[in-house]
């Protein structure tokens, strides 16, 4: 695994006002760009690719939806350099109406964890006050919170602070964790747009 995935803290930044599609910049704790993605606008099936920089010459990860329209969508995460299927992220459709919840699946399709919005009350209020209440997600493996994704309040730029520092045992593959943070940022952008 390359050093782009070796940090404990990241900032995922998504520009909201982009004509050609969403642009994601991923920075490490030193505010150095470590990954970049540009989603094409008007795609029926999600296909997000993470690159080492804005030149988009070195592809690192792919995040692809299995189906075109799926309320409980599953997204496969693959290492672009090795072709390895890292794992999958599956949205809990009905549960996510009131409070977002995702399953984290390993490469063998076995559930290894969950990503959940922290507060049911704030999640409920956020459905009515879209964009005014930042989200916070807890990433849990075996019932233990090993990471957090915290959204900053900013109506023009979506920013998610990703913190893997509680995962000292390496329970979650950083590639899968970062794919989840980008996916949450992309899905949230579509819900607001």
Q: Which long-range contacts (CB under 8 A, 24 or more apart) does 90-97 make?
A: 91/187
Q: Which stretch of DSSP H or E encloses residue 19?
A: none
Count of the separate structural domains present in the chain: 1
**Which string of DSSP letters, residue by residue, matches 97-131?**
HHS-EEEEE-TTS-EEEEEEES-HHHHHHHHHSTT
- Per-residue pLDDT of 79-124, as tens digits, reads 999 999 999 999 886 555 566 889 999 999 999 999 998 766 665 5
CA distance 28 to 5: 10
Please provide the average confidence, as pLDDT, over all residues in the chain. Answer: 83
State residue 75's pLDDT score: 94
- Per-residue pLDDT of 34-54, as tens digits, reads 999 987 765 667 889 999 999
- Determine the distance from the C-alpha atom of residue 8 to the mean position of all C-alpha atoms in its chain, rounded to a whole number: 15
Lowest-pLDDT range of 47-56, 64-73, 184-193: 184-193
Range of the domain at 136: 3-192
Q: Give the SS3 label for residue 177.
A: helix
State residue 190's pLDDT score: 46
Tokens matching residue 18: 């982009």
Whether residue 180 contacts residue 102, with contact meaning beta carbons closer than 8 Å, is answered with yes
The mean pLDDT value for 133-141 works out to 85
Instruction: Pick left, alpha or beta for residue 178 (phi over 0 → left; psi -120 to 50 → alpha; otherwise beta).
Output: alpha
Check which CATH number belongs to the domain holding 137 and give it: 2.40.160
Whether residue 117 contacts residue 102, with contact meaning beta carbons closer than 8 Å, is answered with no
State residue 151's pLDDT score: 85
Lowest-pLDDT range of 32-36, 100-104, 126-130, 166-170: 126-130
Whether residue 12 contacts residue 37, with contact meaning beta carbons closer than 8 Å, is answered with no
């Amino acid at each position: 695994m390359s050093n782009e995935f070796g940090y404990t803290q990241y900032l995922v930044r998504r520009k909201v006002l982009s004509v050609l599609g969403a642009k994601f910049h991923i920075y490490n704790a030193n505010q150095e760009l470590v990954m970049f993605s540009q989603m094409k606008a008007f795609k029926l099936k999600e296909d997000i690719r993470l690159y080492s920089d804005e030149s988009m010459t070195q592809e690192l990860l792919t995040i692809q939806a299995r189906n075109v329209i799926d309320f409980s969508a599953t997204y496969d995460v693959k290492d672009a350099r090795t072709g390895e299927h890292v794992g999958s992220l599956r949205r809990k459709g009905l549960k996510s109406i009131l409070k977002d919840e995702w399953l984290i699946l390993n490469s063998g399709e076995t559930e290894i964890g969950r990503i959940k919005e922290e507060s049911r009350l704030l999640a409920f209020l956020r459905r009515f006050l879209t964009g005014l209440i930042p989200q916070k997600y807890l990433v849990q493996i075996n019932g233990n919170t090993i990471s957090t994704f915290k959204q900053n309040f900013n109506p023009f730029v979506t920013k998610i602070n990703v913190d893997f520092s509680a995962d000292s045992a390496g329970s979650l593959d950083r590639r899968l964790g970062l794919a989840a943070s980008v996916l949450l940022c992309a899905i949230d952008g579509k819900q607001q747009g």
